[in-house]
Structure 1
Amino acid sequence: MNRSVFTLIKKDLLLEMRQQYTLYGILLYVASTIFVVYITLGQPEDTVWNALFWVVQLFVCVNAVAKSFLQENKGRMLYFYSIAGSRDFIVSKLIFNALLMLVMTLLSLFVFVVLLGNPIYNMLQFVGIACLGGLSLSLVFTFLAAIAAKAQQQAALMAVMGFPVIIPQLMLLGRISKIAFSPALHQGLWQMVALLLGFDALVIILALILFPFLWKD
């Protein structure tokens, strides 16, 4: 990691620490959403529990990660253009948002277990899958936010672009995480994990190739 990437990550971290209301707002959103599920369904069965977890993760990612580019104004982007390269900038955003989403994923999982019970048979396995899923979601929405930031209707454009991309990913995450709810051995786990990692690698490669063109605009 070169110095420019590290400096940009540090900048995003300092902004998050100064704008604590944003982080607290996301945490309140997570807690209130899960609490509404709790008072509505109580402690649901494992299939519903798993589906609700990934739905909440999706909306947490949209609120926590996708705003990273939308909050950057033209003056600030011009300043970044003068001090850093396009690939350093997008790499710093990908890394910071991935770390932020990992924290949000673990917090969401903790609140889920406290309020909705723990139907998971292999918790360690599910934690690993949840972290991998949070990483995948953050990469996709960071890339989409970078594209949407150049448009007038950022939120609408991101939703339109993200829907066909994120649905197959959520389906794959749901199938992988379902394995942690059963004591039986399942074949094909590592093939699905490899497919998800390949999808993540594709998103990173596309971001590194396409973002420099947006950076020059």
Structure 2
Amino acid sequence: MIFNQTWNLLKKEILLEWRSKYAFNGVLLYVVSTVFVCYISFHLSPGFSGSAGYPIVWNILFWIIILFASVNAIAKSFIQENKGRLLYYYTIASPQAIILSKTIYNILLMSLLSILALIVYLLFFPNTIGDPLFYFLAVLLGSISFSTVFTMISAIASKAGNNGTLMAILSFPVIIPVILLLIRISKSAMDGVERSLLYGNISILLAINVIVVVTSLLLFPYLWRD
């Protein structure tokens, strides 16, 4: 039952996005313009050869761009839904199916945007990655992590009047350890570190995602009743 409802709601989200392409085009424009501004800024700085010569700067800058792109793409997951549509969802689907469909849709959206962002980023700031496949995996893990966290926070913030402030406050303690783990994993991938040494960090990151998803499934029905 929940699987069918989740699948139908997910198809609805994808269909609406395919028709309007509002979130995709908006965030893609943000990513491209931000990377271009960074490129211009670095090359206009005297004595600075660009972030490609500094792997740590290169890596951190990429995750900052992805982080804010995720906020822009996912923050409106529930905020943009009007009360009439939410009431209609209440009559045809379970709250678990709604939060799952939103989470899966945001994961798909952010995975696609993150891959495109990485391609654009490498075009402007070419850099040698020791383990490209593992770095690509880190980007996908980051997309999943940002999607699960911000979808849950967006659901909570949608029930409050001051959505932007509340979302920033609630997401801060959760997203900081996620970012630190992602930077550590991706930096190790850039350096070509043995993969087995990173399994611990990946396990912690996956555990955080599982906790966030389970918390969303448990908490959202109570939010939904309001």
The 1:179/1:84 distance shift into structure 2, 3 A limit, reads: same
Of the candidates 150, 153, 168, which is equivalent to residue 162 of structure 2?
153
* Mapping for residues 1-217 of structure 1, pairs under 5 Å: 2-42=3-43, 43-44=50-51, 45-185=54-194, 188-217=197-226
Q: Provide the C-alpha distance between the structure 2 equivalents of 1:154 and 1:70, rounded to a whole number of angstroms.
A: 8
Shift of 1:186: 6.5
Structure 2: distance between partners of 1:209 and 1:184: 38
Aligned length: 217
1:136–1:200 contact (8 Å) kept in structure 2: yes
Per the TM alignment, residue 127 of structure 1 is displaced from its structure 2 partner at its CA by 0.2
SS state at 2:208 partner: helix
Structure 1: how far apart are the matches of 2:212 and 2:143? Answer: 14
Asked if the contact 2:74–2:151 (Cα under 8 Å) also holds between the matched residues in 1, the reply is yes
User: Alpha-carbon deviations, 1:179-205, whole Å to 9, x = none?
Assistant: 111134366300000000000000011
**Sequence identity, in percent?**
45
3-state SS, counterpart of residue 40 of structure 2: helix
Cα distance in 2 between the residues matched to 1:150 and 1:184: 44
Instruction: Tell me, yes or no, if the aligned pair for 1:102 and 1:135 is still in contact at 8 Å.
Output: yes
5+ residue gaps, structure 1, are none
Counterpart code for 1:2: F
Instruction: Read off the aligned partner of 1:52 and give its amino acid letter.
Output: L
**What is the CA–CA distance in structure 2 between the aligned matches of 1:4 and 1:158, rounded to whole Å?**
27
Normalised TM-score (structure 1) = 0.96
Q: Letter of the aligned partner of 1:34 in structure 2?
A: V
Which whole-Å CA distance do the structure 1 matches of 2:192 and 2:217 have between them? Answer: 40
Query: CA offsets per residue over residues 8-41 of structure 1, 9 Å max, x none?
Result: 0111111112222432121111000001111112
| Alpha-carbon distance in structure 1 between the residues aligned to 2:192 and 2:225 | 52
Kept after mapping to 1: 8 A contact 2:6/2:101: yes
Structure 1 residue ranges (4+ consecutive) displaced by more than 4 angstroms after TM superposition: none
Q: Structure 1 residues 75, 37: CA separation in 2 closer, same or farther (over 3 Å shift)?
A: same
Amino acid of the structure 1 residue aligned with 2:20: Q
Structure 2 residue runs without a partner (length 5+)? 44-49
